[in-house]
Amino acid sequence: MSEFDVDLFVIGAGSGGTRAARIASGHGARVMIAEEDRIGGTCVIRGCVPKKLFVYASRFTEDFEDAAGFGWSVGKPTFDWPTLRDAVANEVTRLSGLYRKGLEAAGVSIREERAVVEGPHEVRLQKSGDLIRARHILVATGGWPAFDPPIPGGELGISSNEVFHLPSLPSRMLVVGGGYIALEFACVFARLGVAVTLLHRGDNVLRGFDEDIRTRLRDALSHAGLSLRLGCTVDRIEDLGGGVKRAHCASGAPIDAEVILVATGRRPHTAGLGLEQAGVKLGPIGQVIVDRESASSVPSIHAVGDVTNRINLTPVAIREGHAFADTTFGGKPWRMEHGLVASAVFTTPEIGTVGLSEQQAIAAGHELRIFESGFRPMKATISGRQERIYMKLVVDAKTDKVLGVHILGHDAGEIIQAVAIAVTMGATKADFDATIALHPSAAEELVTMRTARAG
């Protein structure tokens, strides 16, 4: 009899953990996975999937308005929050069921309870008390919303976990933060008819993105009726009673709303997991420190996804999990390359980006040629909407290689996914130029920019 009960014990049935479990099982490993919440993890249950469905819902606002310019008469549209909320919840339940089926079909044993590491090869299941001896342990517990450092009254706010289940649509909402989650939800709720104010401590949103994209997004958000309070650090939240809360900023007047969404970042979900006691080194925000093979400081314990705080995106977690499983159980060693990862921010207007920003490219010592284009989309000429699309190519002047592509506007996410193939293959500006434009489209601008920005 084997000294181990399973070859792989996965903690966390989100995107990364589920992929690793299924692939490892396919390679013949005996796999058990534990999940203390719902199967599917952040992306499926309280992240990308329900968020994107909310984004779709929010954009109908513009469709109704734009239709008039094209000859349609649309009565005054009304929106019913419970219908959307419940439809999205049902879809999440369906997808969670598919995740479960996928695991079962792959022969993975599912334990729906919290699991805690008790040693390099031991995991304790908290509800049943079972101790499982595993040849390998994979930590894939993801991240969790953080308000760090906590502020007085912070508990009066909600996080992105709760925003999907609001009992009713508030008339006023404050969103604290200026990152992906804050901006996406601010845009969604503003379009659903909520008076949204974004409170952000910085002087611009989306730190780390290309400056031209940041500035244009900020301006577009203001034009879309979203109220922005920049340079505003919320230092206290107060309950005024009657369902109204008040946020106090270090500077400026306090501001009231029924709902305060706190989106000030996420932290790796490692508290109480027993990792440090087992010898696993954690970083300053609790992330599992891993090498390029996703191995922790304990050779039998690996970690993938947001819990490692590398690039906190679903497809990255999936790749990391897949690479781990192929390498450890399939005799096919490979690793996830973290260099070039496209991402989108599903604000309206949307951002799509891959590669280096202009500022990052300069900091890395590249001499640059910058190509950019800002234009009114064809649809807006008739709808009358004041809307612009912006595209930027960051090109290495010496090698002609396209180092980064940044898009702000309709379908930016869809466009950037396709462009990312070319950029990943090392495309040059000459390759972009040699590509025949597809007309009429917005994306054709990417292959028709001829003149580099002066200076």
User: Which residues here bind ligand NDP, judged by CB under 6 A?
Assistant: 148, 177-182, 184, 200-202, 207, 233, 263-266, 312-313, 343-346
Distance of closest approach, residue 202 Cβ to ligand NDP, in angstroms = 4
CB count, 10 Å around CB of 28?
11
Three-point CA angle 186, 88, 413, nearest 5° = 55
Nearer to ligand NDP by Cβ, of 153 and 178: the residue is 178
Nearer to ligand NDP by Cβ, of 184 and 387: the residue is 184
Nearer to ligand NDP by Cβ, of 137 and 173: the residue is 173
Give the whole-angstrom CA distance, residue 8 versus residue 109.
11
Distance of closest approach, residue 164 Cβ to ligand NDP, in angstroms = 13
Torsion of CA 416, 318, 24, 144, to 10 degrees: 180
Kindly give the interhelix angle for 314-329 and 15-26, rounded to the nearest 10 degrees.
Answer: 30
Instruction: Return the residue nearest ligand NDP (CB atom).
Output: 179
Residue 124: DSSP 8-state: E
Give the whole-angstrom CA distance, residue 448 versus residue 11.
49
Nearer to ligand NDP by Cβ, of 261 and 278: the residue is 261
Give the whole-angstrom CA distance, residue 69 versus residue 81.
27
Nearer to ligand NDP by Cβ, of 207 and 223: the residue is 207
Distance of closest approach, residue 13 Cβ to ligand NDP, in angstroms = 19
Distance of closest approach, residue 250 Cβ to ligand NDP, in angstroms = 10
Question: Most distant CA pair in the chain: distance in Å?
Answer: 75
Nearer to ligand NDP by Cβ, of 179 and 321: the residue is 179
Distance of closest approach, residue 428 Cβ to ligand NDP, in angstroms = 28
CB-based contact 365:390 (threshold 8 Å): no
Give the whole-angstrom CA distance, residue 434 versus residue 143.
43
Give the whole-angstrom CA distance, residue 279 versus residue 120.
8
Q: Is the dihedral of CA 104, 329, 342, 314 positive or negative?
A: positive
> Which residue among 248, 269, 338, 439 is the active-site one?
439
Distance of closest approach, residue 51 Cβ to ligand NDP, in angstroms = 7
Distance of closest approach, residue 325 Cβ to ligand NDP, in angstroms = 23
Distance of closest approach, residue 264 Cβ to ligand NDP, in angstroms = 4
Give the whole-angstrom CA distance, residue 337 versus residue 255.
44
State which amino acid sits at residue 451: T
Q: Which of 190, 193, 222, 191 is nearest to 205 (CA)?
A: 222
> Rounded to the nearest 5°, which phi and psi values hold at 89?
-60, -40
Q: Would you list the DSSP string of 352-384?
A: EEEE--HHHHHHTT--EEEEEEEE--HHHHHH-
Nearer to ligand NDP by Cβ, of 117 and 198: the residue is 198
Nearer to ligand NDP by Cβ, of 125 and 234: the residue is 234
CB-based contact 389:410 (threshold 8 Å): yes
Question: Does the active-site annotation cover 439?
Answer: yes
Q: Which residues are catalytic?
A: 439
